[in-house]
């Protein structure tokens, strides 16, 4: 199990970068607090339920993962430029072991990020229920989508470019096409179709269904997310393998 | 069997030929120096031999394994200490060693004991628990060589192992490298002529992507008709002109 050693190295790299780690955990919390404050200022007559804590929390946990994407892309893009990676390329490690080695330590970080968000949401009025655990479980394939997307971009782009793509473009995409900030059905047309073709809206819907106990609605939303997770992970391995050979 | 045998090994990048028709034979247990000025093709040769880049034509065999068709086997028998500090910077010296041992398939327990053995052998006790990014140039180079040795390679590639080090650190590293003589095959690229003369059994000189001459330091001096190795090197890299 050679990938375990590489996984362990990446875990240490993440934990020993406390600034990024804390920012990763704190980023969704700040958003949650800010939007809850905005929500409390909206009069009830407006009948605006989008930012109610039970809808906002799953949305923010999903949106927070765009930071995990940025983190994973930066980690791999930075590594690719080092002689340390060159040394590892001459070792028996294979492309899939590299990708697994990057994914495994980021997965608990993503779920921890969601958990911290949920704990803060309890103080803001979110009902404590077993459905919270279900939402965290639903967030696992969602996290894989964001992590593998980051790894894919980090393999293709350099450190500077990936900051722009993952930091700005992906964050905006996952905001606009996710039903977190507004209902994409309200815009309709191609916008709604595009949103439905991407995984973000399904991810948020699945997390919301989990937290609100709409169990039968979870799988239809989660399946496209799982499909994206598998495709993106395989694509990340293939592209990393091609990059290793091109480097050769 | 030769440790390394290349046949018309060539690497081209579009119009540019980085290495041209290299024929090289290195014996097992030999310490072989690859000398040349910048752009001579030393690092490209090393990258091909360590499976980092694929040759455009020709082939090389490392203990009988082709770098084109038997790359997995080649990877199991080589160790490399690249030009720059190739360690995981947020990991301690000991963690770096254990990581490399585990990557090559050793169990955690064996990795720990092998790391301890190399820490003692390379006198790294003082900084074994210090992160690589906090090590001095000499310390990190020592760590880099130890990392390359932890998998017990049969062939070790040292790319400019003492580049940028002060005289004391360089000599200290020479002592460590010298101890490898006869035990494993070592291919060393360097800019420092005195390093090649002091350490290597035989020296190959590359210039303009081609292999110009090889032999012991004395043989190369005799071949050039010069009085010292530096003049011999200049003459041989210039194709006979001083």
Q: Which two tokens stand for residue B26?
A: 């290195």
pLDDT of A173: 87
Q: What is the pLDDT of residues B44-67, one digit of tens each?
A: 999 999 999 999 999 999 999 999
B174, B198, B194, B214: which is closest to B34 by C-alpha?
B214
Residues sharing a CB contact under 8 Å with residue A3, sequence separation 6 or more, in sequence order:
A93, A96, A97, A98, A100, A101, A104
φ/ψ (deg, to 5) at B61: -120, 130
pLDDT of B56: 93
Nearest CA in chain A to B73: A92
CA–CA distance, A114 with A64 (Å, rounded to integer): 8
CA–CA distance, B65 with A24 (Å, rounded to integer): 46
Q: Residue B170's Cα: distance from chain center in Å? A: 15
Q: 10 Å Cβ neighbour count for A194?
A: 15
Q: What is the CA radius of gyration of chain B?
A: 18
> Which residues in chain B have their CB less than 8 angstroms from residue A93's CB?
103
Of A9, A89, A91, the CB nearest to B88: A9
pLDDT of B172: 83
**Distance of residue B96 Cα from the nearest chain A Cα, in angstroms:** 9
Mean pLDDT (whole number) for B7-12: 94
**Are B58 and B24 in contact, with CB atoms under 8 Å apart?**
no
pLDDT value at B240 more than 60? no
Q: What is the ipTM of this complex?
A: 0.87
For chain A, which ranges sit under pLDDT 50?
A: 248
Q: Is B191 exposed, middle or buried (0-12, 13-18, 19+ CB in 10 A)?
A: middle
pLDDT of B171: 86
> Which residues in chain A have their CB less than 8 angstroms from residue B75's CB?
90-92
At B185, is the secondary structure helix, strand, or coil? strand
Q: What is the pLDDT of residues B106-165, one digit of tens each?
A: 999 999 999 999 999 888 999 999 999 999 988 898 899 999 999 999 999 999 888 878
pLDDT of B156: 95
Put simply, the answer to whether B148 touches A87 (Cβ < 8 Å) is yes
**Distance of residue A242 Cα from the nearest chain B Cα, in angstroms:** 12
Q: Report the predicted TM-score, pTM, of the whole model to 2 decimal places.
A: 0.87
Burial readout B211-234 (b: 16 or more C-beta within 10 A, e: otherwise): bbbbbebeebbeebebeebeebbe
Q: What is the pLDDT of residues A22-73, one digit of tens each?
A: 888 888 899 899 988 888 888 777 777 777 898 899 999 999 999 899 889 9
Q: What is the CA radius of gyration of chain A?
A: 19
**Distance of residue A4 Cα from the nearest chain B Cα, in angstroms:** 8
Put simply, the answer to whether B82 touches A87 (Cβ < 8 Å) is yes
> Which residues in chain B have their CB less than 8 angstroms from residue A75's CB?
none
> Which residues in chain B have their CB less than 8 angstroms from residue A4's CB?
102
pLDDT of A1: 72
CA–CA distance, B47 with B55 (Å, rounded to integer): 9
CA–CA distance, A83 with A158 (Å, rounded to integer): 15
Strands B185-190 and B155-159: parallel
At B6, is the secondary structure helix, strand, or coil? strand
**Distance of residue A183 Cα from the nearest chain B Cα, in angstroms:** 44
Nearest CA in chain A to B55: A248
Confidence of residue B238 (pLDDT cuts 50, 70, 90): confident
pLDDT of A247: 56
pLDDT value at B242 more than 70? no
Alpha-helical (H) ranges within B39-135 are: 42-49, 71-77, 93-103, 108-121
**Distance of residue A108 Cα from the nearest chain B Cα, in angstroms:** 20
> Which residues in chain B have their CB less than 8 angstroms from residue A2's CB?
102-105
Q: From chain B, which residues contact A within 8 Å (Cβ)?
A: 50-54, 72, 75-76, 78, 80, 82-91, 95, 98-100, 102-105, 111, 131, 147-148, 151
A/B interface, count of CB pairs below 8 Å:
76
**Distance of residue A92 Cα from the nearest chain B Cα, in angstroms:** 6
> Which residues in chain B have their CB less than 8 angstroms from residue A248's CB?
51-54
């Amino acid at each position: 199990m050679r990938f375990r050693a590489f996984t362990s190295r990446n875990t240490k790299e993440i934990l020993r970068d406390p600034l990024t780690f804390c920012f990763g955990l704190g980023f969704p919390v700040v958003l949650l607090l800010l939007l809850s404050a905005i929500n409390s200022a909206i009069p009830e007559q407006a009948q605006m339920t989008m930012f109610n804590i039970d809808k906002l929390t799953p949305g923010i946990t999903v949106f927070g993962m765009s930071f995990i994407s940025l983190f994973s892309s930066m980690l791999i893009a930075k590594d690719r430029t080092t002689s340390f990676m060159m040394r590892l390329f001459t070792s028996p490690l294979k492309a899939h072991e590299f990708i697994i080695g990057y994914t495994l330590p980021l997965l608990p970080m993503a779920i921890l990020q969601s958990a911290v968000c949920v704990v803060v949401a309890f103080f803001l009025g979110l009902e404590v229920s077993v459905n919270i655990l279900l939402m965290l479980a639903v967030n696992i394939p969602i996290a894989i989508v964001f992590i593998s997307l980051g790894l894919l971009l980090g393999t293709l782009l350099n450190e500077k470019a990936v900051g722009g793509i993952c930091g700005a473009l992906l964050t905006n995409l996952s905001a606009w096409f996710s039903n977190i900030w507004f209902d994409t059905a309200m815009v309709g047309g191609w916008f709604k179709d595009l949103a439905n073709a991407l995984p973000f809206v399904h991810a948020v819907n699945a997390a919301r269904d989990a937290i609100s106990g709409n169990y039968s609605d979870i799988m239809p939303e989660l399946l496209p997310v799982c499909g994206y997770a598998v495709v993106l992970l395989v694509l990340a391995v293939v592209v990393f393998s091609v990059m290793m050979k091109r480097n050769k | 069997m030769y440790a390394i045998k290349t046949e018309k090994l060539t690497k081209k990048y579009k119009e540019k030929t980085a290495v041209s028709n290299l024929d090289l034979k290195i014996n097992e247990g030999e310490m072989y120096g690859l000398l040349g000025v910048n752009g001579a093709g030393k690092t490209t040769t090393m990258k091909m031999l360590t499976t980092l880049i694929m040759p455009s034509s020709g082939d090389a065999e490392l203990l009988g394994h082709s770098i084109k068709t038997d790359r997995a086997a080649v990877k199991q028998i080589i160790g490399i200490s690249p030009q720059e500090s190739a360690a995981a910077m947020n990991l301690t010296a000991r963690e770096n060693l254990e990581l490399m041992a585990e990557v090559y398939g050793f169990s955690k327990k064996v990795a720990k004991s092998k790391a301890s053995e190399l820490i003692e052998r390379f006198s790294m006790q003082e900084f074994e628990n210090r992160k690589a990014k906090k090590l001095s140039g000499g310390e990190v180079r020592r760590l880099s060589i130890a990392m390359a040795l932890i998998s017990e390679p049969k062939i070790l590639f040292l790319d400019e192992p003492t580049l940028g080090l002060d005289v004391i650190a360089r000599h200290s590293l020479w002592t460590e490298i010298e101890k490898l003589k006869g035990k494993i095959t070592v291919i060393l690229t360097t800019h420092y002529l005195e390093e090649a003369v002091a350490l290597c059994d035989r020296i190959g000189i590359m210039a303009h992507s081609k292999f110009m001459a090889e032999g012991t330091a004395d043989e190369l001096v005799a071949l050039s008709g010069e009085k010292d190795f530096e003049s011999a090197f200049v003459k041989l890299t210039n194709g006979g002109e001083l």
